[in-house]
C-alpha cells in the first residue's frame, strides 16, 4: 500500500512540475515575443502563432472537440494508472506525467484563450510551429512506445 501511495505521489509531483514548466515558460516566452523580443539561429526561431486546431492544424476551429478529446485522453491515462499502479515503473510514470501535462497545458490554453499559443519554429526543415506542451506530448509518446517495444512493464 505504501508503495502505491508513493507512486501516486510521484506521478502527481511530476505532473504538477511539467504543467508548471509548460505554462510558466509559455507565458514568459509569449510575453517577451509580444513585447518585441525575437530570437533565431540555425536550428529554430521563436515566432508567435495562435493555433485553433491540433497538430499540423488538423481540426482547425474545432475547439470543443479538441477539449473533449484532451479530457478523455487525460482521464484514460489516469484510469490506466489507477488500474495498473502496482506494475507501472517509476520511469513510465514519469513519461505518463509528461504526456498528461503536455495534453493538460494545451487543454488549459484552449479553454482559457480559445486557442493554443505556438512559438517554436524549426529553421532546418518545413514543420508546423509548436510549443513546450507539444514537446512534452511527443517525448512522452516516444518514450512510452520505446518502453513497450523493449517489453518493459507499463
Question: In the annotation, is 61 catalytic?
Answer: no
Query: Which residue among 81, 118, 133, 140 is the active-site one?
Result: 118
Residue 111 pLDDT = 97
Place of cell 505504501: 2
3-class secondary-structure state, position 31? helix
pLDDT of residue 40: 95
* Residue in the block written with cell 494508472: 81
Determine the Cα–Cα distance for residues 64 and 66; give it in Å rounded to an integer: 5
Q: What is the pLDDT of residue 33?
A: 97
Per run of 10 residues, the mean pLDDT along the chain (length 154 residues) is 89 98 97 96 96 83 94 98 95 97 98 97 94 97 92 57
pTM of this structure = 0.92
Cα distance between residue 13 and residue 80, in whole Å: 18
- Report the candidate in 36, 153, 38 with the shortest Cα–Cα distance to residue 96: 153
pLDDT of residue 153: 53
Q: What is the pLDDT at residue 143?
A: 96
Name the catalytic one among 96, 134, 136, 140: 134
Amino acid at each position: 500500500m505504501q508503495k502505491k501511495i508513493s507512486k501516486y505521489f510521484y506521478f502527481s509531483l511530476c505532473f504538477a512540475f511539467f504543467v508548471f514548466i509548460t505554462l510558466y515558460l509559455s507565458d514568459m516566452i509569449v510575453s517577451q515575443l509580444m513585447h518585441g523580443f525575437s530570437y533565431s539561429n540555425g536550428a529554430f526561431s521563436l515566432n508567435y502563432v495562435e493555433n485553433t486546431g491540433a497538430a499540423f492544424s488538423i481540426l482547425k476551429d474545432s475547439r470543443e472537440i479538441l477539449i473533449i478529446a484532451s479530457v478523455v485522453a487525460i482521464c484514460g491515462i489516469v484510469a490506466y494508472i489507477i488500474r495498473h499502479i502496482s506494475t507501472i515503473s517509476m520511469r513510465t510514470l514519469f513519461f505518463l506525467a509528461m504526456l498528461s501535462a503536455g495534453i493538460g497545458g494545451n487543454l488549459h490554453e484552449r479553454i482559457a484563450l480559445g486557442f493554443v499559443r505556438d512559438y517554436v519554429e524549426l529553421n532546418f526543415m518545413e514543420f508546423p510551429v509548436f510549443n513546450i506542451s507539444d514537446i512534452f506530448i511527443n517525448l512522452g509518446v516516444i518514450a512510452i512506445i520505446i518502453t513497450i517495444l523493449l517489453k518493459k512493464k507499463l
